[in-house]
Amino acid sequence: MTSTVSAAPVSAAPLTGTDALNQLVDLVAADMLRVNETIIARMHSPVALIPQLAGHLVAAGGKRLRPMLTLAAADLCGYRGDDHVKLATCVEFIHTATLLHDDVVDESLLRRGQASANALFGNKPSVLVGDFLFSRAFELMVEPGNLKVLEILSRASRVIAEGEVQQLITANDIATTEASYLEVIQGKTAELFAAACQVGAEVAGKTGSPAKALHDYGMALGIAFQLVDDYLDYSANQEKLGKTVGDDFREGKITLPVILAVAQADEAERTFWARTMEALEQTDDDLPDAMRLMEKYGTLQATIDRARAYGDAAKASLDQFPDGPMKQSLIGIVDFCIERAY
């Protein structure tokens, strides 16, 4: 069986916004169908709670952007086999496992606008089913028999865990620097984007420069993606974000909009940030006050500006690849990720 690509017409220029997402979905539709079938098959367990809980999170939606990136990268590199489907499923399982663990750590009650797994099933089952999905992911990454792919994905799993621990260390610390913040989001978010893209090249036998280019594309895209998420926490409605606006503030998460505001704060403002973010002594008026300070210093716009810069870097990483529908789609998906802010 070979990888197939939809014959849907594609414009000569990269699309933006939801059009770019729809184009990518169309191009990888046949392979994503196989990924979804593999997800269902590999979630099976004789322990009934495992597929029940994992299925809840999978059914909650999500664009499955990361596995689509694996499929797209493999196609861009001319792959015509089956292993990319297993690797895309592996990427999705790693992502889903981290979501289960994140929601427990963050005590989140919502995920994509619906009740989180930990809210419905409890913390202990969520952690253990997350462990099960990690185990399934490792089974899948071994099956192609490619040591480089195994190295990339196992390293990504380790770096993601380190990023989450690093975020715990920097939580509630207004002395956190922009550099430290970037280290966190590179680990907890961008690393999996980078690995998802790189393994698509590696499984196609495109080692060296093509694999590095796709790694760099995924890393820059992942950073831009997380920057926009951190912006949205202070600007989007609940329906758009899938969680309550201001969750990061209430939890004392130090993200770039706060870091940039603290850096410019006067003494009274710094006292405000220390009280609300470090001591977590908050009133109902504090979130609006925090957002006014961000507006005063333009930190939300600055966050989006940085996201755009990383988006430009992601696009530039694809320069070595020949023009075509898949390259256009990968360029367009960068704009889609940033345009979520609007």
Long-range contacts of 237-240 (CB under 8 A, 24+ apart): 238/113, 239/113, 240/340
How many CB atoms sit inside 10 A of residue 134's CB? 18
Q: Does 15 map to a domain?
A: no
Q: How many domains does the chain have?
A: 1
Domain that holds residue 324: 27-339
17 lies in some domain: no
Q: How far apart are CA 114 and CA 117, in angstroms?
A: 9
One-letter identity of residue 20: A
Residue 22 lies in a domain: no
Q: Is residue 295 part of a domain?
A: yes
Strand segments (E) across the chain? 110-111, 114-115
Q: Is residue 11 in some structural domain?
A: no
Domain assignment of residue 263, yes or no: yes
Q: What is the pTM of this model?
A: 0.91
Q: How far apart are CA 294 and CA 259, in angstroms?
A: 10
* Residue whose tokens read 């704009």: 335
How far is Cα 135 from Cα 131, in angstroms, rounded to an integer?
A: 6
From the number of C-beta atoms within 10 Å of its C-beta (0-12, 13-18, 19+), residue 185 rates as buried
In a domain, 12, yes or no: no
Give, in order, the Cα–Cα distances in Å from 275 to each of 75, 168, 169, 247: 51, 18, 18, 16
What is the rounded CA–CA span in Å between residue 262 and residue 273? 7
CB 82 within 8 A of CB 58: no
Give the pLDDT score at 10.
41
| Tens of each residue's pLDDT in the chain, 342 residues | 344 333 334 445 556 678 888 999 999 999 999 999 999 999 999 999 998 888 887 776 678 999 999 999 999 999 999 999 999 999 999 999 998 988 888 777 767 667 788 888 888 989 999 999 999 999 999 999 999 999 999 999 999 999 999 988 888 999 999 999 999 999 999 999 999 999 999 999 999 999 999 999 999 999 999 999 999 999 865 555 566 788 889 989 999 999 999 999 999 999 999 999 999 999 999 999 999 999 999 999 999 999 999 999 999 999 999 999 999 999 999 999 998 877
Assigned domain for 85 exists: yes
Contact yes or no for 328/15 (Cβ under 8 A): yes
CATH of the domain at 70: 1.10.600.10
31, 11 contact by CB (below 8 A): no
